[in-house]
Structure 1
Amino acid sequence: MTDEMTARALRSSWRASEQSLYSIGGGDVERYQRAIRLVRAVADDLLDIKSTDALVDRWPEAGGIVAAAAERTGLTLGSLPVDQVAGAAFALRQVALQAEETRRARSELIAAARAEGADWVVLHETGDPLAGFADPYGSTRMHLESGLAIVAAVQPDLTTGAAVHTLTVVRLDLRTGDLVDDDPGVADLAYSDSASFRSGQAALREVVEELAATDRIG
């Protein structure tokens, strides 16, 4: 298995290849369209790979995978660089795998919280709410009964550039945590200091719980 530092470098190189390949200039539409079709074909041949770790381990075979996809589809590389086509295809598959892994992790968190009889589950939390932009805070807490989730973030004030704490309520799928409604009309709040932000979070949790109780009664 590839070590994590090498894996990160590979993933970064795939994204760079993707950007380079799709930055084709000179108005060569045919070359651009051929690149897209070939990348898609290579990515299709990577569908049997079910994890980002396995994708990294498959990279040494990339040249052969590109050649096989080109032969299968009748597409020619021409002036398209093999390493860029391969990198773009691996980047495309990586995005899909990361989405699947994130979704699976959310589902497991939700199931575990329900099994424990919890009312809320933290689906995501990073950074420090006191650090501003030095370590930007972000979190998503879902109410297990209603699917309403409080999304917290640190964003720049458009006028002053100062760090502003925001709280938004969205609705998520009760099993997977997938976004169902990005604006259920509950709250979209901003705070200039962390103390008010923490108080706002607590108050908003009560609002969500009251809404859930009202819906249940209704």
Structure 2
Amino acid sequence: MTDEMTARALRSSWQAAEQTLYSMGGGDVGRYERAVTLVRAVFDELRETESTATLVDRWPDAGAIVAAAAERAGLGLGSLPVDQVAGAGFALRHAALREAETRRARAELIAAARAEGAEWVALHETGDPLAGFADPYGSIRLHLTSGLAIVAGVQPDPATGAVAHTLTVVGLDPLNGDLVDDDPGIADLTYSDCTSFRSGEVALRGLVEEVAAQGSCRIMDDCVVYEVW
């Protein structure tokens, strides 16, 4: 079993190999197509690797894996470096595994919240709302009944560069948290201070619950008229 520090370094090296492999060769279309085909073949060789930890443990066999992938694809490496092809293939498989692991974790959070009779569940939360860019805040809170989720974040104000807090509503699969609608037309709000942001988030939760209860919502004055479902 590889220690976490080494595993993190390996994952970084795979990403670097992927970037380098695809940036080399300038306009050599043939080389690029060969690289893409071989990387995909390496990915296919790694399909039975079912966790990121196991993937890290397979790295010492990367050379043999690339050779088997090249034979399966019916292509030689040519001028492509073995370590870069291997790293790019491992990076691709790692991304797929991380996505699957994240999806399973979301589904488990949702199932646990439903079992507890909760109305909302936090699928993600990181950073500090008061820290600005020093520790950027981000969260995703899912309304279990409707599948509508409030996505909160921090980004630079395009006019001033100052910290701006944002709230957006998206539609997620209420069972696993997969994105199904990136703009259901509920809200896309920006706040200049944390107090207003927090108040806005509370109000937005109420709006989502209202939309879920009524099946539609019309809001005038400061907001655009929205229709949902």
- Cα distance in 1, alignment partners of residues 73 and 117 from structure 2: 52
Q: Does residue 125 of structure 1 match 2:125?
A: yes
Structure 2 counterpart of 1:110: 110
Q: Please, what is the CA RMSD of the aligned residues?
A: 1.2
TM-score by length of 1: 0.97
Q: Does residue 88 of structure 1 match 2:81?
A: no
Deviations 1:110-152 (A, max 9, x none): 0000000000000000000000000000000000000010000
TM-score by length of 2: 0.93
Deviations 1:60-118 (A, max 9, x none): 00000001111122100111100000000000001100110010000000000000000
Structure 2 counterpart of 1:55: 55
Deviations 1:161-205 (A, max 9, x none): 001000000110011100111111111100000000000010100
Structure 1 counterpart of 2:141: 141
Contact 2:25 2:31 in 1 (8 A): no
- Cα distance in 2, alignment partners of residues 17 and 134 from structure 1: 29
Tell me the matched-pair count.
217
Residue type of the alignment partner of 2:67 = A
Corresponding residue SS for 1:171: strand
The list of structure 1 runs, each at least 4 consecutive aligned residues, that deviate by more than 3 angstroms after superposition, is none
- The alpha carbon displacement at 1:26 in A equals 3.8
Corresponding residue SS for 2:117: coil
Structure-to-structure mapping, 1:114-193, within 5 angstroms:
114-193=114-193
Which blocks of at least 5 consecutive residues in structure 2 are unaligned?
217-228
- The alpha carbon displacement at 1:27 in A equals 2.2
Structure 2 counterpart of 1:45: 45
Structure 2 counterpart of 1:5: 5
Structure 2 counterpart of 1:75: 75
Q: Which moved more, 1:21-30 or 1:104-113?
A: 21-30
Which blocks of at least 5 consecutive residues in structure 1 are unaligned?
none
